[in-house]
Amino acid sequence: MNDFFSQFKDEARKIRLTTEERVALRLRLASAFDRETAQISRRSPLPSPFLIFNFRLVSSALVLALVVGSSVTYAAESAVPGDVLYPVKIHVTENFRDVVAVSDSAQVAWHTEAAERRIEEAEQLVAHGVLTEEKKIELQEKFDEHVLAAEELTDSLKETEPEVASAIETRFDSSVSAHVAIMNYLVEEDATENRTESDAFTEHVSRRSLSRRTETGRTMAALASEASFMAPAVSSADGEQTAPVAAKMVVEQSDKKSGTETKTNTRVKKQATSELKEVEKSFKKIKDKLSSTTSADVENRIAETRDLLESDQAQGGVSGDVVVETGADTDNQALRNAVMLNTFLKAQKKFKKEVIPSPVELQKKNYDQDQDWSREDSSESERRWDRDSDQ
Protein backbone atom coordinates (compact mmCIF):
# COMPACT_ATOMS: atom_id res chain seq x y z
CA MET A 1 0.00 0.00 0.00
CA ASN A 2 2.83 2.39 0.86
CA ASP A 3 4.46 1.59 -2.48
CA PHE A 4 1.24 2.49 -4.27
CA PHE A 5 1.01 5.92 -2.65
CA SER A 6 4.70 6.55 -3.22
CA GLN A 7 4.29 5.85 -6.94
CA PHE A 8 1.10 7.90 -6.95
CA LYS A 9 2.88 10.92 -5.48
CA ASP A 10 5.80 10.55 -7.86
CA GLU A 11 3.49 10.57 -10.86
CA ALA A 12 1.52 13.50 -9.43
CA ARG A 13 4.60 15.69 -9.17
CA LYS A 14 5.61 15.14 -12.78
CA ILE A 15 2.82 16.76 -14.72
CA ARG A 16 0.54 19.77 -14.31
CA LEU A 17 -2.39 20.98 -16.37
CA THR A 18 -1.60 23.98 -18.55
CA THR A 19 -3.27 27.33 -17.91
CA GLU A 20 -5.47 26.84 -20.99
CA GLU A 21 -6.58 23.41 -19.77
CA ARG A 22 -7.49 24.75 -16.32
CA VAL A 23 -9.50 27.59 -17.83
CA ALA A 24 -11.33 25.22 -20.20
CA LEU A 25 -12.11 22.91 -17.29
CA ARG A 26 -13.61 25.72 -15.19
CA LEU A 27 -15.68 27.02 -18.12
CA ARG A 28 -17.06 23.58 -18.88
CA LEU A 29 -18.08 23.03 -15.25
CA ALA A 30 -19.67 26.46 -15.03
CA SER A 31 -21.61 25.83 -18.25
CA ALA A 32 -22.86 22.46 -17.01
CA PHE A 33 -23.96 23.96 -13.71
CA ASP A 34 -25.76 26.88 -15.37
CA ARG A 35 -27.73 24.53 -17.65
CA GLU A 36 -28.87 22.36 -14.76
CA THR A 37 -29.91 25.22 -12.48
CA ALA A 38 -31.75 26.98 -15.34
CA GLN A 39 -33.78 23.86 -16.10
CA ILE A 40 -34.70 23.37 -12.44
CA SER A 41 -35.65 27.05 -11.98
CA ARG A 42 -38.13 26.84 -14.88
CA ARG A 43 -39.78 23.80 -13.37
CA SER A 44 -40.13 25.02 -9.78
CA PRO A 45 -39.96 28.50 -8.20
CA LEU A 46 -39.27 26.95 -4.80
CA PRO A 47 -35.87 25.68 -3.65
CA SER A 48 -35.53 22.03 -4.56
CA PRO A 49 -33.58 19.32 -2.72
CA PHE A 50 -32.40 18.21 -6.16
CA LEU A 51 -30.99 21.69 -6.77
CA ILE A 52 -29.04 21.49 -3.51
CA PHE A 53 -27.82 18.02 -4.44
CA ASN A 54 -26.87 19.17 -7.92
CA PHE A 55 -24.96 22.15 -6.57
CA ARG A 56 -23.04 19.94 -4.18
CA LEU A 57 -22.36 17.41 -6.92
CA VAL A 58 -20.93 19.93 -9.35
CA SER A 59 -19.06 21.80 -6.61
CA SER A 60 -17.50 18.57 -5.39
CA ALA A 61 -16.53 17.65 -8.93
CA LEU A 62 -14.99 21.08 -9.40
CA VAL A 63 -12.91 20.81 -6.23
CA LEU A 64 -11.87 17.27 -7.14
CA ALA A 65 -10.90 18.26 -10.67
CA LEU A 66 -8.88 21.29 -9.57
CA VAL A 67 -7.06 19.50 -6.75
CA VAL A 68 -6.55 16.05 -8.21
CA GLY A 69 -6.75 16.99 -11.87
CA SER A 70 -4.01 19.55 -11.64
CA SER A 71 -1.46 16.83 -11.03
CA VAL A 72 -2.59 13.27 -11.52
CA THR A 73 -5.38 13.05 -14.07
CA TYR A 74 -3.24 14.29 -16.93
CA ALA A 75 -0.61 11.67 -16.16
CA ALA A 76 -3.31 9.01 -15.92
CA GLU A 77 -4.52 9.64 -19.48
CA SER A 78 -1.86 7.33 -20.92
CA ALA A 79 -2.47 4.58 -18.35
CA VAL A 80 -3.59 1.08 -19.40
CA PRO A 81 -4.93 -1.87 -17.37
CA GLY A 82 -2.25 -2.92 -14.89
CA ASP A 83 -0.78 0.58 -14.46
CA VAL A 84 -0.88 2.22 -11.04
CA LEU A 85 -2.79 5.24 -12.40
CA TYR A 86 -5.38 3.30 -14.40
CA PRO A 87 -8.01 3.44 -11.59
CA VAL A 88 -7.61 7.24 -11.57
CA LYS A 89 -8.26 7.35 -15.31
CA ILE A 90 -11.38 5.16 -15.08
CA HIS A 91 -12.92 6.22 -11.77
CA VAL A 92 -11.90 9.88 -11.52
CA THR A 93 -11.22 11.40 -14.93
CA GLU A 94 -13.86 9.49 -16.89
CA ASN A 95 -16.50 9.67 -14.16
CA PHE A 96 -16.00 13.41 -14.09
CA ARG A 97 -16.41 13.67 -17.86
CA ASP A 98 -19.59 11.61 -17.60
CA VAL A 99 -20.99 14.04 -15.01
CA VAL A 100 -20.39 17.15 -17.11
CA ALA A 101 -21.87 15.59 -20.28
CA VAL A 102 -25.39 16.88 -19.62
CA SER A 103 -27.36 16.54 -22.86
CA ASP A 104 -28.21 13.29 -24.63
CA SER A 105 -25.96 14.18 -27.56
CA ALA A 106 -23.06 14.95 -25.21
CA GLN A 107 -23.64 11.68 -23.40
CA VAL A 108 -23.65 9.65 -26.62
CA ALA A 109 -20.50 11.40 -27.83
CA TRP A 110 -18.79 10.70 -24.52
CA HIS A 111 -19.75 7.00 -24.37
CA THR A 112 -18.56 6.37 -27.93
CA GLU A 113 -15.29 8.16 -27.15
CA ALA A 114 -14.86 6.11 -23.97
CA ALA A 115 -15.41 2.91 -25.96
CA GLU A 116 -12.72 4.03 -28.42
CA ARG A 117 -10.38 4.70 -25.49
CA ARG A 118 -10.69 1.05 -24.46
CA ILE A 119 -9.63 0.00 -27.97
CA GLU A 120 -6.68 2.38 -27.87
CA GLU A 121 -5.61 0.86 -24.55
CA ALA A 122 -5.76 -2.59 -26.12
CA GLU A 123 -3.57 -1.30 -28.95
CA GLN A 124 -0.97 -0.12 -26.46
CA LEU A 125 -0.96 -3.50 -24.70
CA VAL A 126 -0.71 -5.34 -28.01
CA ALA A 127 2.16 -3.13 -29.17
CA HIS A 128 4.11 -4.09 -26.02
CA GLY A 129 3.13 -7.75 -26.31
CA VAL A 130 1.29 -7.85 -22.97
CA LEU A 131 -2.40 -8.25 -23.86
CA THR A 132 -3.39 -11.16 -21.62
CA GLU A 133 -6.76 -12.86 -21.44
CA GLU A 134 -7.53 -11.12 -18.14
CA LYS A 135 -6.82 -7.66 -19.53
CA LYS A 136 -8.70 -8.46 -22.74
CA ILE A 137 -11.82 -9.45 -20.80
CA GLU A 138 -11.60 -6.32 -18.65
CA LEU A 139 -11.38 -4.08 -21.70
CA GLN A 140 -14.16 -5.93 -23.53
CA GLU A 141 -16.52 -5.53 -20.58
CA LYS A 142 -15.81 -1.82 -20.26
CA PHE A 143 -16.14 -1.39 -24.03
CA ASP A 144 -19.54 -3.15 -24.01
CA GLU A 145 -20.81 -0.98 -21.16
CA HIS A 146 -20.15 2.21 -23.08
CA VAL A 147 -21.48 0.90 -26.40
CA LEU A 148 -24.70 -0.27 -24.72
CA ALA A 149 -25.16 3.12 -23.06
CA ALA A 150 -24.53 4.87 -26.38
CA GLU A 151 -27.04 2.65 -28.21
CA GLU A 152 -29.78 3.29 -25.66
CA LEU A 153 -29.24 7.04 -25.80
CA THR A 154 -29.05 7.02 -29.59
CA ASP A 155 -32.53 5.49 -29.81
CA SER A 156 -34.05 8.56 -28.19
CA LEU A 157 -31.63 10.93 -29.89
CA LYS A 158 -32.80 9.73 -33.31
CA GLU A 159 -36.23 11.15 -32.56
CA THR A 160 -35.01 14.58 -31.44
CA GLU A 161 -31.70 15.05 -33.26
CA PRO A 162 -31.47 12.41 -36.01
CA GLU A 163 -28.61 14.16 -37.80
CA VAL A 164 -26.51 14.15 -34.63
CA ALA A 165 -27.24 10.47 -34.03
CA SER A 166 -26.32 9.58 -37.61
CA ALA A 167 -23.02 11.48 -37.44
CA ILE A 168 -22.04 9.88 -34.15
CA GLU A 169 -22.82 6.36 -35.38
CA THR A 170 -20.95 6.92 -38.64
CA ARG A 171 -17.93 8.28 -36.82
CA PHE A 172 -17.85 5.51 -34.25
CA ASP A 173 -18.18 2.60 -36.68
CA SER A 174 -15.52 4.07 -38.95
CA SER A 175 -13.14 4.58 -36.05
CA VAL A 176 -13.61 1.01 -34.84
CA SER A 177 -12.92 -0.36 -38.33
CA ALA A 178 -9.67 1.60 -38.49
CA HIS A 179 -8.60 0.47 -35.01
CA VAL A 180 -9.20 -3.16 -35.95
CA ALA A 181 -6.91 -2.78 -38.97
CA ILE A 182 -4.26 -1.16 -36.75
CA MET A 183 -4.33 -3.99 -34.22
CA ASN A 184 -4.05 -6.55 -37.00
CA TYR A 185 -0.89 -4.85 -38.18
CA LEU A 186 0.61 -4.66 -34.70
CA VAL A 187 0.39 -8.45 -34.23
CA GLU A 188 1.13 -9.42 -37.82
CA GLU A 189 4.25 -11.44 -36.95
CA ASP A 190 3.28 -12.36 -33.39
CA ALA A 191 2.58 -16.00 -32.49
CA THR A 192 2.13 -15.62 -28.73
CA GLU A 193 -0.83 -15.25 -26.38
CA ASN A 194 -0.72 -11.56 -27.30
CA ARG A 195 -1.78 -12.43 -30.88
CA THR A 196 -4.50 -14.82 -29.77
CA GLU A 197 -6.07 -12.31 -27.40
CA SER A 198 -5.70 -9.49 -29.92
CA ASP A 199 -7.59 -11.47 -32.57
CA ALA A 200 -10.35 -12.28 -30.08
CA PHE A 201 -10.61 -8.66 -28.99
CA THR A 202 -10.81 -7.23 -32.51
CA GLU A 203 -13.48 -9.73 -33.50
CA HIS A 204 -15.46 -8.82 -30.39
CA VAL A 205 -15.38 -5.05 -30.86
CA SER A 206 -16.03 -5.33 -34.61
CA ARG A 207 -19.19 -7.31 -34.06
CA ARG A 208 -20.32 -5.22 -31.10
CA SER A 209 -19.89 -1.92 -32.89
CA LEU A 210 -21.93 -3.15 -35.84
CA SER A 211 -24.87 -4.38 -33.77
CA ARG A 212 -27.03 -1.50 -35.00
CA ARG A 213 -26.74 -2.59 -38.63
CA THR A 214 -28.52 -5.42 -40.39
CA GLU A 215 -28.79 -8.83 -38.72
CA THR A 216 -26.74 -10.42 -41.48
CA GLY A 217 -23.60 -8.54 -40.50
CA ARG A 218 -22.07 -5.64 -42.32
CA THR A 219 -23.98 -4.43 -45.35
CA MET A 220 -22.26 -4.17 -48.69
CA ALA A 221 -22.58 -0.38 -48.45
CA ALA A 222 -20.65 -0.38 -45.17
CA LEU A 223 -18.03 -2.65 -46.66
CA ALA A 224 -17.53 -0.35 -49.61
CA SER A 225 -17.15 2.77 -47.52
CA GLU A 226 -14.27 1.16 -45.65
CA ALA A 227 -12.66 -1.15 -48.18
CA SER A 228 -12.80 1.13 -51.20
CA PHE A 229 -11.62 4.07 -49.10
CA MET A 230 -8.08 2.71 -49.26
CA ALA A 231 -8.52 0.61 -52.40
CA PRO A 232 -6.87 1.57 -55.69
CA ALA A 233 -8.58 1.52 -59.05
CA VAL A 234 -7.83 -1.59 -61.10
CA SER A 235 -6.53 -1.40 -64.66
CA SER A 236 -8.56 -3.27 -67.24
CA ALA A 237 -7.09 -5.15 -70.18
CA ASP A 238 -7.32 -2.11 -72.43
CA GLY A 239 -5.63 0.09 -69.87
CA GLU A 240 -8.71 1.94 -68.64
CA GLN A 241 -9.11 2.60 -64.92
CA THR A 242 -12.04 0.75 -63.43
CA ALA A 243 -13.44 0.58 -59.95
CA PRO A 244 -12.36 -2.10 -57.46
CA VAL A 245 -14.37 -5.33 -57.57
CA ALA A 246 -15.86 -4.67 -54.15
CA ALA A 247 -16.89 -1.20 -55.30
CA LYS A 248 -18.71 -2.55 -58.35
CA MET A 249 -20.56 -5.02 -56.18
CA VAL A 250 -21.72 -2.18 -53.96
CA VAL A 251 -23.01 -0.08 -56.85
CA GLU A 252 -24.94 -3.06 -58.18
CA GLN A 253 -26.33 -3.69 -54.72
CA SER A 254 -27.21 -0.03 -54.29
CA ASP A 255 -29.09 0.02 -57.59
CA LYS A 256 -31.45 -2.56 -56.17
CA LYS A 257 -32.42 -0.24 -53.34
CA SER A 258 -35.04 2.45 -53.47
CA GLY A 259 -32.59 5.04 -54.77
CA THR A 260 -34.20 7.79 -52.70
CA GLU A 261 -31.87 10.76 -52.47
CA THR A 262 -31.14 12.34 -49.12
CA LYS A 263 -30.48 15.99 -48.43
CA THR A 264 -26.99 17.19 -47.61
CA ASN A 265 -26.48 16.95 -43.88
CA THR A 266 -24.92 20.23 -42.83
CA ARG A 267 -23.98 18.91 -39.41
CA VAL A 268 -22.23 15.87 -40.86
CA LYS A 269 -20.56 18.08 -43.46
CA LYS A 270 -19.25 20.38 -40.75
CA GLN A 271 -17.93 17.46 -38.72
CA ALA A 272 -16.33 15.85 -41.76
CA THR A 273 -14.69 19.14 -42.70
CA SER A 274 -13.31 19.53 -39.19
CA GLU A 275 -12.05 15.95 -39.18
CA LEU A 276 -10.36 16.43 -42.53
CA LYS A 277 -8.54 19.52 -41.26
CA GLU A 278 -7.15 17.42 -38.41
CA VAL A 279 -6.08 14.80 -40.91
CA GLU A 280 -4.15 17.36 -42.95
CA LYS A 281 -2.40 18.71 -39.85
CA SER A 282 -1.47 15.25 -38.60
CA PHE A 283 -0.28 14.17 -42.02
CA LYS A 284 2.09 17.13 -42.33
CA LYS A 285 3.70 16.22 -39.01
CA ILE A 286 4.41 12.57 -39.81
CA LYS A 287 4.66 12.55 -43.58
CA ASP A 288 8.45 12.18 -43.51
CA LYS A 289 8.13 9.02 -41.38
CA LEU A 290 5.90 7.25 -43.90
CA SER A 291 6.91 5.31 -46.98
CA SER A 292 6.50 7.08 -50.30
CA THR A 293 3.70 4.67 -51.29
CA THR A 294 1.75 5.24 -48.10
CA SER A 295 2.23 9.01 -48.31
CA ALA A 296 0.90 9.03 -51.86
CA ASP A 297 -2.11 6.96 -50.79
CA VAL A 298 -2.91 9.30 -47.92
CA GLU A 299 -2.64 12.34 -50.18
CA ASN A 300 -4.99 10.74 -52.69
CA ARG A 301 -7.56 9.91 -50.01
CA ILE A 302 -7.41 13.43 -48.61
CA ALA A 303 -8.06 14.84 -52.09
CA GLU A 304 -10.93 12.41 -52.72
CA THR A 305 -12.53 13.18 -49.38
CA ARG A 306 -12.29 16.90 -50.08
CA ASP A 307 -13.95 16.32 -53.46
CA LEU A 308 -16.83 14.54 -51.73
CA LEU A 309 -17.34 17.48 -49.39
CA GLU A 310 -17.36 19.91 -52.29
CA SER A 311 -19.96 17.96 -54.28
CA ASP A 312 -23.58 18.97 -53.79
CA GLN A 313 -25.23 15.57 -53.79
CA ALA A 314 -24.56 11.90 -54.53
CA GLN A 315 -24.95 10.94 -58.17
CA GLY A 316 -24.47 7.21 -57.70
CA GLY A 317 -21.66 5.11 -59.12
CA VAL A 318 -17.90 5.31 -58.70
CA SER A 319 -15.86 8.51 -58.51
CA GLY A 320 -12.15 7.78 -58.76
CA ASP A 321 -11.70 4.89 -56.36
CA VAL A 322 -14.34 6.06 -53.89
CA VAL A 323 -17.79 4.49 -54.13
CA VAL A 324 -20.76 6.84 -54.04
CA GLU A 325 -23.97 4.97 -53.33
CA THR A 326 -27.09 5.82 -55.28
CA GLY A 327 -29.08 8.22 -53.13
CA ALA A 328 -26.44 8.25 -50.40
CA ASP A 329 -25.21 11.33 -48.66
CA THR A 330 -21.70 12.19 -49.83
CA ASP A 331 -21.05 13.99 -46.57
CA ASN A 332 -21.47 10.74 -44.63
CA GLN A 333 -19.03 9.09 -47.02
CA ALA A 334 -16.58 11.95 -46.48
CA LEU A 335 -16.94 11.64 -42.71
CA ARG A 336 -16.20 7.91 -42.85
CA ASN A 337 -13.10 8.51 -44.93
CA ALA A 338 -11.82 11.35 -42.75
CA VAL A 339 -12.38 9.49 -39.49
CA MET A 340 -10.55 6.40 -40.70
CA LEU A 341 -7.63 8.46 -41.97
CA ASN A 342 -7.47 10.45 -38.75
CA THR A 343 -7.49 7.27 -36.67
CA PHE A 344 -4.66 5.78 -38.71
CA LEU A 345 -2.53 8.91 -38.49
CA LYS A 346 -3.04 9.37 -34.74
CA ALA A 347 -2.03 5.77 -34.15
CA GLN A 348 1.01 6.19 -36.37
CA LYS A 349 2.32 8.89 -34.02
CA LYS A 350 2.34 6.37 -31.16
CA PHE A 351 3.98 3.39 -32.83
CA LYS A 352 7.35 2.93 -34.52
CA LYS A 353 5.94 0.31 -36.87
CA GLU A 354 3.97 1.63 -39.84
CA VAL A 355 0.34 0.80 -39.08
CA ILE A 356 -1.44 2.46 -42.00
CA PRO A 357 -2.64 -0.43 -44.19
CA SER A 358 -1.85 -0.51 -47.86
CA PRO A 359 -4.93 -0.15 -50.12
CA VAL A 360 -5.01 -3.75 -51.36
CA GLU A 361 -4.47 -5.24 -47.89
CA LEU A 362 -7.21 -3.19 -46.30
CA GLN A 363 -9.64 -4.04 -49.08
CA LYS A 364 -8.88 -7.76 -48.85
CA LYS A 365 -9.11 -7.89 -45.05
CA ASN A 366 -12.44 -6.07 -44.99
CA TYR A 367 -13.85 -8.26 -47.74
CA ASP A 368 -12.62 -11.54 -46.22
CA GLN A 369 -13.94 -10.53 -42.82
CA ASP A 370 -17.32 -9.65 -44.25
CA GLN A 371 -17.54 -13.02 -45.99
CA ASP A 372 -16.65 -14.87 -42.77
CA TRP A 373 -19.28 -12.98 -40.80
CA SER A 374 -21.91 -13.48 -43.49
CA ARG A 375 -21.32 -17.24 -43.45
CA GLU A 376 -21.51 -17.33 -39.65
CA ASP A 377 -24.69 -15.25 -39.57
CA SER A 378 -26.28 -17.39 -42.30
CA SER A 379 -25.46 -20.55 -40.36
CA GLU A 380 -26.93 -19.06 -37.20
CA SER A 381 -30.10 -18.06 -39.07
CA GLU A 382 -30.43 -21.61 -40.42
CA ARG A 383 -30.02 -23.03 -36.91
CA ARG A 384 -32.72 -20.71 -35.57
CA TRP A 385 -35.01 -21.71 -38.46
CA ASP A 386 -34.45 -25.40 -37.74
CA ARG A 387 -35.20 -24.89 -34.03
CA ASP A 388 -38.39 -22.97 -34.80
CA SER A 389 -39.49 -25.64 -37.28
CA ASP A 390 -38.95 -28.40 -34.72
CA GLN A 391 -41.11 -26.57 -32.24
pLDDT value of residue 44: 47
Sequence-distant (6+) residues with CB within 8 A of 220 are 249, 250, 253, 254
- pLDDT tens digits, one per residue of 272-299: 999 999 999 999 999 988 989 899 999 9
* pLDDT range class, residue 160, cuts 50, 70, 90: confident
* Cα 217 from chain centroid (whole Å): 18
DSSP assigned state of 211: T
Q: What is the pLDDT averaged over residues 24-37?
A: 58
**DSSP-assigned beta bridge partners for residue 323:** 318
| Amino acid letter for position 175 | S
pLDDT value of residue 188: 82
pLDDT value of residue 137: 97
The secondary structure element, H or E, covering residue 360 is: helix 359-390
Q: What is the pLDDT averaged over residues 115-133?
A: 95
Distances (CA, A) of 31 to 28, 102, 103, 386: 5, 10, 12, 56
Q: Domain ranges in the chain?
A: 244-369
Evaluate whether 25 touches 65 at the Cβ level (below 8 Å): yes
Evaluate whether 186 touches 348 at the Cβ level (below 8 Å): no
* pLDDT range class, residue 356, cuts 50, 70, 90: confident
Evaluate whether 317 touches 223 at the Cβ level (below 8 Å): no
pTM score: 0.67
More confident residue, 316 or 326: 316
More confident residue, 245 or 300: 300
pLDDT value of residue 134: 96
User: Distance between CA 215 and CA 71 in Å, rounded?
Assistant: 47
Whether pLDDT at 91 is above 70: yes
